[in-house]
Amino acid sequence: MNILIMGIAGSGKGTMAEFIKEHYKIPHISSGEMFRESIRNKTPLGLLAKQYIDHGLLVPDDVTIQMVRDRIMQPDCDHGYLLDGFPRTMIQTGAFEKLIDDTNRELDKVINLNVGFEHLEKRITGRRLCKDCGSIYNIHNHRPKVEGVCDVCGGSLYQRSDDTTQQLEIRIKEYEHLTKPVIDFYIGKGDVIQIDASKEVPEVWNELKTNLEEIDDH
């Protein structure tokens, strides 16, 4: 199954991606996580990306396309993949559509997580991630058992540098301006599962899983 998951910052994309990855045993390719890893490793790509990410801006298309293209061509994506956070602009979409067409990696489904803006700030500023395994928590409604420590692997939790109210406002504007046309493009192709992601995590996953299983049966 080749899946693309889309949703604004705070829509729960990362959390749902973890569930999907486990359920279908497919690699999870998150462009944001790839950038964060490059930043942690202080690679030239990481140093470049950091200048944009820290300001809530999108990383330029050319480097982003190159990075995802190299990843999606790896053999572990031969039998399915879950793409998260890419494509985010129409230029990326054009390059991606050509790539999947040329390499028989066409999408089976696109998931769009819908959340009202009023939910986003609490989700974003309360979000904490595990440095080691990437598990996602929230200080408001999904706390770890021990403060600052990951329940899954015992790693320490951190807050993303772009998870601030100010950066969120910029990210919302970028999303509306650059990413909404991508969603409209896939809606036009008739591929999109629309999910109400303002509910609690188990409910959202239930709805999503039901929708994906319906496709699987066809």
- Residue appearing with tokens 């700030």: 121
Binding site for ligand AMP (CB under 6 A): 9, 31-32, 35, 52-53, 57-59, 64, 85-86, 88, 92, 162, 171
Closest-by-Cβ residue to ligand AMP is 32
Q: How far is the CB of 182 from ligand AMP (least distance, A)?
A: 10
Separation of alpha carbons 183 and 95, rounded Å: 15
**What is the distance between the alpha carbons of residues 212 and 160, in angstroms, rounded to a whole number?**
30
CA distance readout (Å), 118 to 11, 114, 121: 11, 12, 7
* Per-residue CA distances from 34 to 59, 124, 186, 200, 209 (Å): 12, 19, 24, 27, 26
Q: In the structure encoding, which two tokens stand for residue 77, read together?
A: 């994506």
Write the DSSP assignment of 97-145 as a string of letters: HHHHHHTT---SEEEEEE--HHHHHHHHHTEEEETTT--EEETTTB--S
Shortest distance, position 218 Cβ to ligand AMP, whole Å: 29
Judged by CB, which is closer to ligand AMP: 87, or 208? 87
We find the least distance from the C-beta atom of residue 193 to ligand AMP, in angstroms, to be 19
Would you say 64 or 112 has its CB closer to ligand AMP? 64
Report in angstroms how near the CB of residue 192 gets to ligand AMP at its nearest. Answer: 18
Q: How far is the CB of 216 from ligand AMP (least distance, A)?
A: 26
Q: Which is nearer to ligand AMP, 4 or 59 (CB)?
A: 59
Nearer to ligand AMP, 28 or 204 (CB): 28
Nearer residue to ligand AMP within complex by CB, 161 or 206: 161
Query: Annotated active-site positions, please?
Result: 13, 88, 127, 160, 171
- H helical segments located in the chain: 13-24, 31-40, 44-53, 61-72, 90-102, 117-125, 165-174, 180-189, 201-217
CA pair distance 142, 79, nearest whole angstrom: 33
Q: Six-digit token pair at 25? A: 């045993």
